[in-house]
Amino acid sequence: MSQFIALLERYQAKLEQQYGRLLNQDIRRAITDMLHCKNDVNRTTQWHCGHCQHDQQLPASCGNRSCPQCLHQTTSNWLVKQTDKLLPVHYFMVTFTLPYQLRVLARQHPKALYQLMLQVTAGILKDFAKRENKGSLGFTSVLHTHNRRRECHPHVHIIVPCGRYNAVKKQWCKSDKQYLFNEFALAKVWRARVIDAINQSAKLTMPTDTPKKWMVDCRKVGFGASAFKYLSRYLYRGVLPDKDIINLSEEMVTFKYKESSTNMTKVRTLPVLEFLWLILQHVLPKGLQRVRDYGFLRGNAKQLRLQILLILGGDISTMATPVKRKRAVCICPCCHHEMHFMGLSRLRN
């Protein structure tokens, strides 16, 4: 069992007592799922060995994207999928960060705020590209809700290939690999559009102490593979891996993290209940799509990407060949051959 889930099970009653007013429906659902993950006799996976005919039942995973025990295959498959779409060009990562004064909205109305952030950032990049009149962009947006200390820190990372595709001329327009868009101009538009969107929202209310300067970071990230690997770390395997929890006591939890400015390993120690809430506040609302592809990187644009790859003189064999996705594997305890998954069984009460 995950160390985080073990703590959650042990301190559930105290957590409810201290933070109950902050636990929304999505967080409560995640808690229930995690406590039953690989621990529910009423939900089992059925496996059969074709070599020795052995049958086996195993407790089923909960499948909740906030669960540290689940969806590791999903993370690997997403990374393979994004790597398969890489073009032989330089890439940029643009990061739009929400000021801390607005982070209270993330706790009050997470779905409305995060949807707004993803929509606004995508619109900004499309409009900046449109002004240059060189063609359309392709990009992938990923919502992150925390910093390395695991505090509430909503921001959107966007991976952008260096170049545009002109659909009318069927041409690839090269861009300056040293420059995508002006960061200060992006930041001004980011601030103006978020404020405007919040003022028009029926759920969100703009705080009175909104800062004048907002942060947008735009930097080169090579040929893209390392950037996608970085983004995949926290997508589908919980906020904090067990390996980063380095000490547990009756009342305190210590975990390690890498400081972004120095890349040095730091440690943070918190009371158990405060630690549990620190992680649980990042449970995403049900139905929120935190990863979105646009333009020629969207899922149904494979033929367009093949055409761009041909224009760029790249190797189309890897993109044309279907990529094998990793799947769950169970090894037979009797003959050590790979077993076949037969389905999920649910017992009714």
Ramachandran quadrant class, 168 (left: phi over 0; alpha: psi -120 to 50; beta: rest): alpha
* Stretch 178-196: mean pLDDT: 94
What's the confidence (pLDDT) of residue 343?
75
Instruction: Break the chain into its structural domains and give their ranges.
Output: 3-64+326-346, 72-320
pLDDT digits (tens, 9 = 90+) for 33-89: 999 888 877 778 888 888 888 888 777 788 888 888 887 777 778 888 888 889 999
**CA 103, CA 211: separation in Å to the nearest integer?**
13
Instruction: Answer whether residue 266 shows pLDDT above 80.
Output: yes
- Number of Cβ within 10 Å of residue 215's Cβ equals 16
Instruction: Answer whether residue 319 shows pLDDT above 60.
Output: no
Q: Tokens representing 190?
A: 């980011």
**CA 97, CA 213: separation in Å to the nearest integer?**
11
Q: What is the mean pLDDT of the chain?
A: 88
pLDDT digits (tens, 9 = 90+) for 120-139: 999 999 999 999 888 899 99
**CA 224, CA 229: separation in Å to the nearest integer?**
9
**CA 273, CA 7: separation in Å to the nearest integer?**
9
Contact 245, 254 (CB under 8 A): yes
Amino acid at 144: H
What's the confidence (pLDDT) of residue 317?
63
H helices then E strands: how many in the chain? 11, 13
The two beta strands, 43-48 and 91-97, are: unpaired
Instruction: Identify the band that residue 231 occupies on the pLDDT scale cut at 50, 70 and 90.
Output: confident
* Stretch 153-164: mean pLDDT: 95
Cross-strand bridge partners of residue 56: 47
Instruction: Identify the band that residue 328 occupies on the pLDDT scale cut at 50, 70 and 90.
Output: low
